[in-house]
Amino acid sequence: MPEAGTEIIRLDGAEKHFGAANIDIIRLDGAEKHFGAVRALAGVDFHVGAGECVGLVGHNGAGKSTLMHMVAGTLMPDSGRIAVRGHVEDNYSVPRAQQLGIRCVFQELSLCPNLSVAENTRINHTTLRGFGWRRKAADLIAAKLDEIFPGHSISASDIASDLSIGRRQMVEVARAFTVTQDPLELVILDEPTSSLDAHTAGQLLGFVRRFVAGGKSCILISHVLGEVLGNADRIVVMRDGNVVASDAAKAFDRDRLVTTMGGAEAREKIAAKIATQKPETGPLRVRARPARQEDGNELVAHAGEIIGLAGLAGHGQTDLLLAIFAAAARAKTGIEVTAPVALVAGDRQSDGIFPQWSIAQNIGIRSLKRLRNGLLISPQREAELATFWQRKIGIRTPDMNNNIFSLSGGNQQKVLFARALGSDAEIVLMDDPMRGVDIGTKLEVYDLLREEAGRGRTFLWYTTETEELDNCHNVYVFKNGRIVANLTRDELTEEKIIQSSFGDAA
């Protein structure tokens, strides 16, 4: 017989007792989910305790987001049970999760683009109504932004679509932590730092630690393994729809995590430190002066070079890449571009993905000339190109003719890479392109970039992940829309970049 204060949950004949003491905030047992032929979750057990930060890691397509959609109430499992604080939830849903204090910041940002920051906050707090609701919503979000990201320069009256992707991510995270009527117990953060620079990411992770120390709970999903190792209490590793490990964070190191995720080869590559030789200087490919640059500084890139763009997010790196992209089609003062250009967008939702199209069509769109057979696109050539890239960078899908949104976030990002690298562009512009890409694939892509640069391609690469700059021959640091430093590979250190980002010049 169960003890008083406990509940029995029946799971395919098995019985489970949830004790009154030490009750988990949430517990899923045997959660299964299929999308057509894809088994996204193969019967997963998962729980989060009060005052616990659980790190969730796994390769692209491992099932992390699907599992989190269940915790947040946006997806129902095909089978399995969900219990919140020991009570089985038979009709779990988003409103129910909200009522129970469970919130989620998904990888694909969800702010309404035409509404202000305050108005977007109001959507989550229906009790903010009547006279003065706008002021109250503005105060609520401003206070939370100040608490999490001191020194942010976001105003509650800013319209969401006017904000950079990094700032939208900050608003979305802050909004999840605002409280009015409903309680706040557990926040799921799915890749919360993917568009944040190192400084802002540090602010958020510091806040998460304080939140958890105060007895609340958090699930942190990240492909930046150092973030998970350094901030989670326990780490859960997923692989192909299963949980394959769950252990105290202290019990893991980077190598064990990568191996458990299924990246034994990746591990060897990590050990074999990245070596990027400075190439012989080839012909000029790009010469570009940022619009706000008043001194003589400009970005110069030659054939075969991988050039990094660094500094705090939103300081003009994306603007310069977009200006170079535009200049390839139409002459622009201060910018010289000598070869065809492709862009890998970081903000795939608004800039990169064609939502109605298949995965294969999304890859082929930049290579139409090559795919043409007479006047029409040859489906066979399109399929060949798609299959080549599916193998090359491991796009996880049973069918490349499926819609692009059937892919996990990281796999969508791989499609954008395939589109640019599969094209005839000699210059590839990359706007923080590794958003949500897993560690194994990242290492594959780094190799690919070096290989392609060796063949004479030029890469201009803005990244918010400092480690990635190790792949570059030299790095331009941006501040307030201007280039403030040009560091060679030998000079490149995190301190030097931060010093240049915050100082007047370097």
Residue 65 binding ligand ATP, by CB under 6 A: yes
> Helix, strand or coil for residue 188?
strand
Rounded CA separation 355/32 (Å)? 27
DSSP character at residue 457: -
- Residue 412 CB, nearest approach to ligand ATP (Å): 8
Nearer to ligand ATP, 39 or 287 (CB): 39
352 near ligand ATP, judged by CB under 6 A: no
Please choose, out of 53-61, 84-92, 274-282, 375-383, the segment that lies near ligand ATP by the rule CB under 6 A. Answer: 53-61
The residues that bridge with 59 in the sheet, in sequence order, are none
- Using the rule CB under 6 A, which residue among 23, 28, 38, 232 binds ligand ATP? 38
| Separation of alpha carbons 275 and 446, rounded Å | 11
Q: How far is the CB of 71 from ligand ATP (least distance, A)?
A: 12
Which one, 236 or 342, has the nearer CB to ligand ATP?
Answer: 236
Q: Give the residue closest to ligand ATP by C-beta.
A: 410
Q: Which is nearer to ligand ATP, 38 or 189 (CB)?
A: 38
Whole-angstrom distance, CA of residue 320 vs CA of residue 301: 13
Q: Provide, rounded to whole angstroms, the least separation between the CB of residue 59 and ligand ATP.
A: 7
Task: Give me the phi and psi of 177, to 5 degrees please.
Answer: -95, 0
CB of 155 to ligand ATP, least distance (A): 31
> How far apart are the C-alpha atoms of 147 and 183, rounded to whole Å?
18
What DSSP character marks residue 321? H
- Taking each helix axis from N to C terminus, what angle separates 117-124 and 165-176, rounded to the nearest 10 degrees? 30
Residues near ligand ATP (CB under 6 A), total:
22
Nearer of residues 304 and 409 to ligand ATP, judged by Cβ: 409
Q: How far is the CB of 267 from ligand ATP (least distance, A)?
A: 19
Which residue in the set 77, 433, 436, 440 belongs to the binding site for ligand ATP (CB under 6 A)? 436
Four-point Cα dihedral 238, 242, 248, 254, nearest 10: -30
Helical H segments across 394-484, by residue range: 409-421, 439-454
Q: How far apart are CA 387 and CA 183, in angstroms?
A: 48
Supply the Cα-derived Rg of the chain in whole angstroms.
24
Our CB check for ligand ATP shows the closer of 34 and 372 to be 34
Q: Are 440 and 266 in contact (CB under 8 A)?
A: yes
Instruction: Find, among 433, 67, 64, 415, the residue nearest to 261 by Cα.
Output: 64
241 vs 316, beta carbon nearer ligand ATP: 241
Binding of ligand ATP by 63 (CB under 6 A):
yes
Near ligand ATP in 451-480, by CB under 6 A: none
Q: Across 232-384, where does the E strand assignment appear?
A: 234-239, 242-248, 284-288, 299-302, 306-310, 335-337, 341-344, 372-373, 376-377
Task: Give strand pairing partners of 349.
Answer: none
Instruction: Give least dist CB 44 to ligand ATP, A.
Output: 11
Least distance (Å) between residue 306 CB and ligand ATP: 25
- Please tell me the distance from the alpha carbon of residue 495 to that of residue 506, in angstroms, as a whole number: 12
Q: How far is the CB of 176 from ligand ATP (least distance, A)?
A: 18
Please select the residue that binds ligand ATP; options are 60, 193, 194, 362, rule is CB under 6 A: 60
Q: In angstroms, give the least distance from the CB of 503 to ligand ATP.
A: 36
Site for ligand ATP in 355-414 (CB under 6 A): 396-397, 406-411
- Cα–Cα distance between 175 and 123 in angstroms, integer? 10
For ligand ATP, the binding residues in 103-122 under the rule CB under 6 A are 107
* Sign of the torsion formed by the C-alpha atoms of 20, 23, 26 and 29: negative
Nearer to ligand ATP, 317 or 411 (CB): 411
Among 30, 43, 61, 166, binds ligand ATP (CB under 6 A): 61
Q: Which region, judged by CB under 6 A, interacts with ligand ATP, from 63-71, 125-133, 385-393, 427-435?
A: 63-71
- Binding of residue 35 to ligand ATP (CB under 6 A): yes
- Taking the least distance from each CB to ligand ATP, the nearer of 378 and 387 is 387
What gap in Å lies between CA 213 and CA 220, rounded to an integer?
Answer: 15
Closer residue to ligand ATP in complex, CB, 180/402: 402
Contact present, 89 and 7 (Cβ < 8 Å): no
For 46, the enclosing helix (H) or strand (E) is strand 38-48
Binding residues (CB under 6 A) for ligand ATP: these are 35, 38, 40, 58, 60-66, 107, 396-397, 406-411, 436, 438
